[in-house]
Structure 1
Amino acid sequence: MDWIQPLYTRSEVDRAGEKLAATGWVDNGRGEPDTRHELAVLNNWRAAHSFPLNTIQMGLRRRIRSIEPQAIVSQRLKRAPATIAKLRRFPGMKLSRMQDIAGCRAIVSSPAGVRELWSAHRRSKMKHKLIREVDYIQWPKSSGYRGIHLVYRYRSDRNETYNGLQVEIQLRSKLQHAWATAVETAGAIKDQALKSSEGNAGWLRFFALAGSWLAIKERSPVVPDTPSDPVTLRDSLVRLATDLNVVGTLDDYRTFISYAPERLPPHCHYFLLERRPDERSMTVSGFRKSRLAGAAKLYEEREEEIRGIDGAEVVLVAMDSVANLRAAYPNYLFDTDLFIKELDLATRRQVHLPGHPLHKR
């Protein structure tokens, strides 16, 4: 297949990023300076990451086969509004150096599986250079987020076109993924950037507490500035969940979202997911591997169409099977069943949790 190549220099990419960050996403084309060229630069830069992303996720799949064959592996290209928002949050960041434009993720059953997969990457002899690794399980984010992040700089002697482009790998357990799914779902419903620690203080505190509750279940360190005593933590979590009507909020939208994977063309590899909370709808478009360019173009068009619509999102992902789409991206289906189940368990009066390291940073 013909892969999309970068058409602009890194200096041009950075200049485009600076202008887009100054203008913002929602306001672009709404009386602000014309940014069509800058968006074209960003879109090409993003699409050009497809080749190194595909290469690195193939390596991830190979390593995971001997560890947990049923694990879910997915990949995605970062949404334009999320990219611009990140540039605005971090004024010194350069678009050409952003490490998560392209990302792939593995979801395994337990933290032990996460660490085994991490160790397998460390032992690997691939040419791509590991430039960053962060253990958010041992050192959870204050938001409650947990997982392992690895960033690789692509390198190939046979195809130097993409050398230097970066790809992020996220390794998560099922419970860690359930937490992240719930945060993104609540953020979409409330139209707040909760995953970036922005928005309602009550919801942010709730997810920090929930992160600690799940960490204790996985015998992992709790989130900074949350109770280390399980009973105190449980009481605080349940009280806040009740005040915010967390279960009702999450469950209300889930019952309205559905999609029909059987209607997609056969042998799809790329999927365009479009979520519209205002219409309580979700659409999925499928593309074969040979149609990456068409999928990338439609991605750009859909992003433009939903600009300014509260909570609306579209993302281009790749999966080995449409059957795994729900498991990999439940947030786009408002599917928070596992998280709600764990929250329900927290409401029980008796707390029977295994021993765990409760030290904090």
Structure 2
Amino acid sequence: MYFLDVPLPISKQKLNKLGERIAASDPPAKEDLQLLNDVLRAYQSILVTVEEQLALIELSATSRVKTRSVLIEKLRRERGMALARVQDMAGARTVIEGGWAEQNATVEQLTRHFDEWTGKPSKVIDRRSSPSHGYRAVHVIVFPEGIPSFPRAFR
């Protein structure tokens, strides 16, 4: 199974409208909650595929999809946040033993593999030198077809 086989159940535009409705209503409509569940299930399927791809390059990860309640809270807290632009909707985390050299080598391995696999360049955000809220990691974000944005490996 590949990312390309798991399109989201709605377009980016409809995803953003869904986020606007959810942020504006308390409680959200049952239909909107069901649609959000469908989106989160699609991301869960993608994470399974990511873990399969990591196994091909002999890496393993822990992964998670943001819970519905946390996502709703984020949409309400960050007014104007487009749901299609939420880059931490899902993620996989790989911890690398060793220092920066080993970490950098793994980042190169990940970007090479996922750039080839998705056909699009990955985005690398390195927070080791400038932590964000105490979080020091390298994020490799990949952009598979049909997915607004999908964070892949955190370290």
TM range (shorter): 0.7 to 0.9
For residue 149 of structure 1, what is the amino acid of its counterpart? H
CA distance in 2, matches of 1:167, 1:153: 6
User: In the alignment, is residue 171 of structure 1 matched against residue 151 of structure 2?
Assistant: no
Unaligned runs of 5+ in 2: none
SS in 2 for 1:49: helix
CA drift of 1:153 comes to 1.1
Displacement, 1:117?
A: 0.9
Match of 2:67? 79
Q: Please list every run of 5 or more consecutive structure 1 residues that lacks an aligned counterpart in the other structure.
A: 29-33, 156-162, 173-361
Distance of 1:92 and 1:154 partners within structure 2: 25
- Change in Cα spacing, 1:4 to 1:75, as seen in structure 2 (3 Å) is same
Write the deviation string for residues 310-356 of structure 1: whole angstroms up to 9, x where unpaired. Answer: xxxxxxxxxxxxxxxxxxxxxxxxxxxxxxxxxxxxxxxxxxxxxxx
| 2:110 maps to 1:121 | yes
CA 81–89 in structure 1, closer or farther in 2 if over 3 Å, else same: same
SS across alignment from 1:129: coil
TM-score (norm 1): 0.37
| 1:151 CA displacement | 1.3
Q: Deviations over 1:143-168 (max 9, x none)?
A: 2111111111113xxxxxxx234321
Q: Work out whether 1:55 is the aligned partner of 2:49.
A: yes
Contact 1:105 1:170 in 2 (8 A): yes
Question: Among 132, 135, 151, which residue is 1:145 paired with?
Answer: 135
1:105 alignment partner AA:
R
Aligned residues of 1:53 and 1:104 also touching (Cα < 8 A): yes
Say if 1:17 and 1:83 are closer, same or farther in 2 by CA, change over 3 A.
same
Question: CA offsets per residue over residues 114-167 of structure 1, 9 Å max, x none?
Answer: 2221011233322342453210112211x2111111111113xxxxxxx23432
| Cα deviation, residue 5, structure 1 | 5.8
1:7–1:127 CA distance, 2 compared to 1 (3 A): closer
Poorly superposed stretches of 4+, deviation over 4 Å? none
Deviation at 1:108, TM superposition (A): 2.1
Change (3 A) 1:84 1:168: same
Contact 1:16 1:39 in 2 (8 A): no
Aligned ranges for residues 32-111 of structure 1 at < 5 Å? 34-63=28-57, 65=58, 72-111=60-99
The whole-number CA distance in structure 2 between the counterparts of 1:110 and 1:7 is 40
- Distance in 2 (alpha carbons) for counterparts of 1:42 and 1:128: 27
Taking only the aligned residue pairs, the percentage that are identical comes to: 26
Look up the match of 2:14. Answer: 12
User: What are the Cα deviations for residues 18-44 of structure 1, in whole angstroms up to 9, with x where unaligned?
Assistant: 121223xxx52xxxxx52111111111
Q: Would you say the 8 A contact 2:7–2:147 is kept in 1?
A: no
Q: Deviations over 1:177-236 (max 9, x none)?
A: xxxxxxxxxxxxxxxxxxxxxxxxxxxxxxxxxxxxxxxxxxxxxxxxxxxxxxxxxxxx
Aligned CA-pair RMSD:
2.6
> 1:1-361, aligned counterparts within 5 Å?
6-23=8-25, 27-28=26-27, 34-63=28-57, 65=58, 72-112=60-100, 113-124=102-113, 125-141=116-132, 143-155=133-145, 163-172=146-155
Contact 2:140 2:151 in 1 (8 A): yes
Question: 1: distance between equivalents of 2:122 and 2:80?
Answer: 19
Residues 4 and 127 of structure 1: CA distance in aligned 2, closer, same or farther (over 3 Å): closer
Distance 1:83 1:43, change over 3 A: same
Higher RCO, Cα 8 Å, sep 6+: 2
How far apart, CA to CA, are the structure 1 residues paired with 2:13 and 2:154? Answer: 32
Residues 295-317 of structure 1: CA deviation (Å, up to 9, x unaligned): xxxxxxxxxxxxxxxxxxxxxxx
